[in-house]
């Protein structure tokens, strides 16, 4: 437990890498983060960056940064610079491992000629609409293009002329000869190259044909020596082409693609398209608008790389689509900033207090620590207390609710770092609006609470930008009624306070330094607009506010829960249907179904499972020939054999029916316990052989000797006194624990029924 804190969370990718390293498939891990330079990186990319660079770091490997620049029409040098800056800011270094897809254009082209020569690719002159039409639909197979059977020579000539620029954009493409009937649409003759007479940010006008993602990506990985190519879930269908390309070209390595679920967060959107729309239509001030989930926006808002990394670590890596609470992200920021942001006082909406018993003109310098004691960091500043101070309008109430710990008529509060003041009078204008308070300094009064404040005369003025979540609903991109996310833009995502009053020390804040305005939130000076003589602060996140939460309670919940959409999707072909179709084709299988059910007396579902293919039934019958106990053999085949075979055909296992029958007999005759039988079975599945021999060699004969078992039980009980006590106090669930211990100690050989009885007896006494 002591070291588990800093150990990275287990996830399926780490398990895969562990296995690859152990089996010797790879001796070093190479990952990559491959953004397309057509936009800015956002928090979703951060998850991928932390994953890829983190994996490389933790397994002693390397992670490449790669610009996936295969489409010159959308990509720009500006974005490339932004991406490098953002990855570096997040805290990751790629050393000399910076690559561009365009570095490999020459090799990719050579591989394309290779495919053409091998008859695996052809130049298609169908236009885009026709290709789409010929591709078929989800339920209908595609049709071959009329150009599909061109000769190798013709294809080679055409491909070279494509490269030479003889054809205009869109006249033809290079396609792989896939499988037009494939249920995976991606395999229906995928496009490899298209003509784009556009200038590329790096290769300029050298090329006029550019490789498609599905062709380029596996080759980039292989050429760079990437071992684990990690992408998001929507590319699962593309994995088949990924593998196809690597198998049909002389690629120098064999990387594997793995997919994980992309990040989603409440109250924001994380798709490049929607982000681009927000910027393009002017709903935000740009890619670095502090409300944007872009790294540039978050940085400007006041997020720290540490907070973002902690967050990415905390959300985990899985294949389950999910959405993380924005609260979680904010919490990570607060945790980080609490320890690094020096405190300052700022009043956003002031009321002036006149301290009537302080002499006019007298100023008392008060020392204020930069951090509270529990943070334990040094530093302080001076706040000058005069006769007049500002406090927050919301910190005064003429009719305070129950539990009010702020100022009210006749009440007293402490001014933070200063004296206790008592309110003696409220000053109002003709409209009844409070314009000021008259208080007395009275250190003997009982303070209701502590208020932040700012000296009126010495206050510094600043603009303060209060940022809030960009959208007002949790899932702006998943409206049940299908409305555009923009419908849910939060109208108060930015509130500007033009002339907030800050304590004098605020003038000394250096750019990019995070501060906490006490009792309010964490802020940073705006890196674009803030100047020494015209300060601008951005609110990164508020402080937690349990008082506000208590007061709210009512609303929020009132928002009507939207009816869940009753979108019933058609189901896919089930395994049952596959088996039924097999029987329709094969009369022998159909006959078996009837025989198993009517003659052998199997129930419908078992008979069905055994007759979906010949191999399963063959094994079943061979086992029966060796041991004629139908229920027993059925159980073994249905539950164990099918599990061991996974989706592979049963006859791909070295296990014979004869051996299986013999094994079933041994269990029934109490020679083997069930768990020992599973060990034997595991070996049979692995290597085949004779169960009797395996049992003998591994000493797995069942122990039904009560004395021997009782000895083991006594040992187990002695070794776990706490569990015994808990069991006797009523935690009966622990019986499973004890059973497990005894079974383990006996090497799985103890007779379970007997063991259970003996165990219960021993535990009772």
Site for RNA in 80-109 (CB under 7 A): none
- Rounded to a whole number of angstroms, the minimum distance from the CB of residue 286 to RNA is 22
Using the rule CB under 7 A, is 558 a contact of RNA? no
Instruction: Please tell me what DSSP assigns to residue 47.
Output: H
* The one among 19, 77, 110, 128 contacting RNA by CB under 7 A: 128
Using the rule CB under 7 A, is 322 a contact of RNA? yes
Stretch of 45-53, 111-119, 507-515, 564-572 lying at the interface with RNA (CB under 7 A): 564-572
Q: Pairing between strand 343-344 and 514-517? A: parallel
* The one among 2, 3, 554, 574 contacting RNA by CB under 7 A: 574
Quick check: helix, strand or coil at residue 385? strand
Take residue 702 and report the two structure tokens written for it: 């069942």
Using the rule CB under 7 A, is 646 a contact of RNA? yes
Using the rule CB under 7 A, is 327 a contact of RNA? yes
Q: What is the CA 120 to chain-centroid distance, rounded?
A: 37
Using the rule CB under 7 A, is 66 a contact of RNA? no
Instruction: Please tell me what DSSP assigns to residue 597.
Output: I
Residues 266-305 close enough to bind RNA by CB under 7 A: none
* Contact mark string toward RNA, 178..217, x via CB under 7 A: -----xxxx----x--xxx-------------x-xxx---
- Rounded to a whole number of angstroms, the minimum distance from the CB of residue 194 to RNA is 4
538, 301 contact by CB (below 8 A):
yes
Residues 336-365 close enough to bind RNA by CB under 7 A: 338, 343
Q: What are phi and psi of 673, to 5 degrees?
A: -80, 165
Q: How far apart (Å, rounded) are the C-alpha atoms in residues 467 and 524?
A: 12
Q: Which of 57, 85, 196, 272 is catalytic?
A: 272
Q: How far apart (Å, rounded) are the C-alpha atoms in residues 37 and 272?
A: 11
Q: Pairing between strand 228-232 and 256-260? A: parallel
Residue placing its CB nearer to RNA in the complex, 215 or 289: 215
Residues in the chain: 765
* The one among 307, 391, 717, 743 contacting RNA by CB under 7 A: 743
Using the rule CB under 7 A, is 665 a contact of RNA? no
* The one among 89, 147, 258, 404 contacting RNA by CB under 7 A: 404
Q: What is the DSSP string of 148-177?
A: TT--HHHHHHHHHHHHHT-S-TTS-EEEE-
> Is 474 marked active-site?
no
Using the rule CB under 7 A, is 172 a contact of RNA? yes
Residue placing its CB nearer to RNA in the complex, 414 or 698: 414
- Rounded to a whole number of angstroms, the minimum distance from the CB of residue 639 to RNA is 4
* The one among 119, 146, 170, 688 contacting RNA by CB under 7 A: 170
* The one among 139, 361, 399, 444 contacting RNA by CB under 7 A: 139
Helix, strand, coil abundance in the chain, percent, nearest 5: 40, 20, 40
CA distances from 224 to 30, 54, 102, 209, 717 (A): 9, 19, 12, 22, 57
The angle formed by the CA atoms of residues 443, 444 and 448, to the nearest 5 degrees, is: 80
* The one among 117, 565, 687, 728 contacting RNA by CB under 7 A: 565
* The one among 724, 752, 762, 763 contacting RNA by CB under 7 A: 752
Take residue 311 and report the two structure tokens written for it: 């967050």
Q: What is the CA 666 to chain-centroid distance, rounded?
A: 48
Residues 438-457 close enough to bind RNA by CB under 7 A: 449-450, 452
* The one among 16, 21, 261, 497 contacting RNA by CB under 7 A: 261
Q: What is the DSSP string of 694-706?
A: HHHHHT---B--H
269, 486 contact by CB (below 8 A):
no
Stretch of 149-157, 512-520, 523-531, 683-691 lying at the interface with RNA (CB under 7 A): 512-520
Residue placing its CB nearer to RNA in the complex, 188 or 291: 188
Q: What is the CA 88 to chain-centroid distance, rounded?
A: 21
759, 741 contact by CB (below 8 A):
no
* The one among 95, 365, 378, 733 contacting RNA by CB under 7 A: 733
Using the rule CB under 7 A, is 434 a contact of RNA? no
Stretch of 103-111, 133-141, 150-158, 698-706 lying at the interface with RNA (CB under 7 A): 133-141
Q: What is the DSSP string of 623-654?
A: HHHH---HHHHHHIIIIIIHHHHTTS-GGGSS
Using the rule CB under 7 A, is 611 a contact of RNA? no
63, 92 contact by CB (below 8 A):
yes
- Rounded to a whole number of angstroms, the minimum distance from the CB of residue 153 to RNA is 22
Instruction: Please tell me what DSSP assigns to residue 218.
Output: H
Stretch of 562-570, 651-659, 681-689, 703-711 lying at the interface with RNA (CB under 7 A): 562-570
> Is 197 marked active-site?
no
Residue placing its CB nearer to RNA in the complex, 163 or 343: 343
* The one among 153, 335, 398, 598 contacting RNA by CB under 7 A: 335
Using the rule CB under 7 A, is 392 a contact of RNA? no
Q: Which of 85, 202, 262, 678 is catalytic?
A: 262
* The one among 27, 510, 554, 568 contacting RNA by CB under 7 A: 568
> Is 9 marked active-site?
no
CA distances from 648 to 11, 250, 476, 657, 685 (A): 26, 29, 43, 17, 13
Residue placing its CB nearer to RNA in the complex, 533 or 557: 557
Using the rule CB under 7 A, is 731 a contact of RNA? yes
Q: How far apart (Å, rounded) are the C-alpha atoms in residues 307 and 59?
A: 23
Using the rule CB under 7 A, is 57 a contact of RNA? no
* Contact mark string toward RNA, 691..730, x via CB under 7 A: --------------------------------x--x----
348, 452 contact by CB (below 8 A):
no
Calculate the dihedral angle through the C-alpha atoms of 557, 559, 562, 563, rounding to the nearest 10 degrees.
Answer: 70
Active site members:
36, 262, 272
């Amino acid at each position: 437990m002591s070291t588990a804190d800093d150990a990275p969370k287990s996830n399926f990718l780490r398990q895969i890498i562990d296995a690859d390293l152990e089996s010797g498939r790879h001796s070093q891990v190479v990952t990559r983060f491959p953004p397309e330079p057509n936009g800015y990186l956002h928090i979703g990319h951060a998850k991928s960056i932390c994953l890829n660079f983190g994996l490389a770091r933790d397994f002693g490997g390397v992670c490449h940064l790669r610009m996936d620049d295969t489409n010159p029409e959308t990509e720009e040098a500006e974005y490339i610079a932004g991406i490098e800056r953002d990855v570096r800011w997040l805290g990751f270094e790629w050393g000399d491992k910076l690559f561009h897809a365009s570095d490999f254009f020459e090799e990719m082209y050579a591989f394309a000629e290779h495919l053409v020569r091998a008859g695996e690719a052809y130049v298609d002159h169908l236009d885009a609409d026709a290709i789409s039409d010929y591709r078929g639909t989800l339920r209908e197979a595609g049709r071959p293009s009329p150009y599909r059977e061109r000769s190798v020579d013709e294809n080679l000539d055409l491909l070279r002329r494509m490269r030479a620029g003889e054809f205009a954009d869109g006249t033809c493409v290079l396609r792989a000869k896939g499988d037009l009937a494939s249920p995976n649409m991606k395999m229906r003759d995928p496009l490899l190259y298209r003509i784009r007479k556009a200038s590329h940010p790096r290769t300029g006008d050298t090329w006029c044909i550019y490789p498609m993602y599905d062709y380029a990506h596996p080759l980039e990985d292989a050429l760079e020596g990437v071992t684990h190519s990690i992408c998001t879930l929507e590319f699962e269908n593309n994995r088949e082409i990924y593998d196809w390309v690597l198998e049909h070209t002389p690629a120098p390595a064999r990387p594997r693609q793995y997919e994980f679920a992309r990040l989603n967060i409440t109250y924001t959107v994380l798709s490049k398209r929607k982000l681009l729309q927000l910027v393009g239509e002017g709903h935000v001030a740009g890619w670095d608008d502090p409300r944007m989930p872009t790294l540039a926006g978050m940085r400007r808002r006041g997020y720290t790389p540490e907070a973002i990394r902690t967050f990415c670590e905390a959300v985990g890596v899985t294949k389950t689509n999910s959405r993380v609470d924005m609260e979680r992200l904010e919490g990570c920021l607060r945790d980080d900033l609490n320890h690094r942001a020096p405190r300052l006082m700022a009043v956003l909406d002031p009321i002036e207090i006149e301290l009537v018993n302080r002499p006019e003109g007298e100023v008392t310098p008060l020392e204020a620590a930069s951090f509270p004691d529990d943070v334990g960091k040094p530093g302080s500043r001076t706040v000058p207390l005069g006769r007049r101070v500002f406090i927050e309008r919301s910190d005064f109430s003429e009719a305070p609710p129950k539990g009010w710990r702020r100022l009210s008529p006749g009440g007293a509060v402490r001014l933070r770092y200063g004296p206790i003041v008592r309110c003696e009078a409220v000053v109002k204008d003709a409209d009844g609006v409070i314009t000021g308070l008259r208080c007395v300094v009275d250190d003997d009064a009982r303070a209701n609470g502590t208020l932040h404040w700012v000296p009126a005369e010495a206050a510094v003025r600043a603009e303060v930008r209060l940022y809030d979540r960009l959208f007002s609903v949790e899932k702006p991109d998943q409206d049940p009624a299908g409305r555009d996310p923009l419908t849910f833009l939060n109208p108060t995502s930015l509130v500007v306070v033009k002339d907030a009053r800050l304590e004098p020390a605020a003038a000394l804040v250096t750019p990019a330094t995070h501060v906490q305005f006490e009792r309010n939130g964490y802020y940073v000076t705006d890196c674009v607009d803030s100047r020494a003589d015209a300060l601008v602060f951005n609110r990164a996140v508020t402080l937690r506010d349990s008082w506000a939460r208590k007061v709210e309670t009512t609303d929020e919940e009132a928002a009507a829960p939207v009816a869940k959409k009753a979108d019933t999707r058609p189901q896919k072909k089930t395994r049952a249907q596959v088996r039924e179709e097999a029987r329709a084709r094969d009369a022998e299988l159909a006959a078996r179904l009837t025989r198993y059910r009517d003659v052998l007396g199997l129930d419908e579902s078992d008979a069905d499972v055994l007759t979906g293919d010949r191999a399963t039934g063959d094994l079943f019958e061979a086992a029966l020939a060796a041991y004629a106990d139908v229920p027993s053999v059925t159980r073994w085949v249905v539950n164990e054999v099918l599990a061991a075979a996974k989706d592979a055909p049963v006859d791909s296992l070295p296990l014979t029916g004869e051996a299986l029958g013999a094994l079933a007999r041994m269990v029934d005759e109490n020679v083997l316990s069930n768990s020992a039988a599973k060990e034997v079975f595991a070996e049979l599945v692995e290597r085949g052989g004779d169960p009797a021999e395996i049992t003998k060699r591994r000493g797995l004969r069942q122990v039904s000797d009560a004395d021997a078992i009782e000895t083991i039980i006594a040992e187990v009980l002695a070794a776990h006194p706490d569990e015994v006590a808990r069991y006797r106090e009523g935690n009966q669930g622990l019986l499973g624990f004890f059973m497990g211990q005894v079974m383990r100690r006996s090497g799985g050989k103890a007779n379970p029924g007997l063991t259970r009885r003996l165990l219960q007896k021993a535990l009772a006494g």
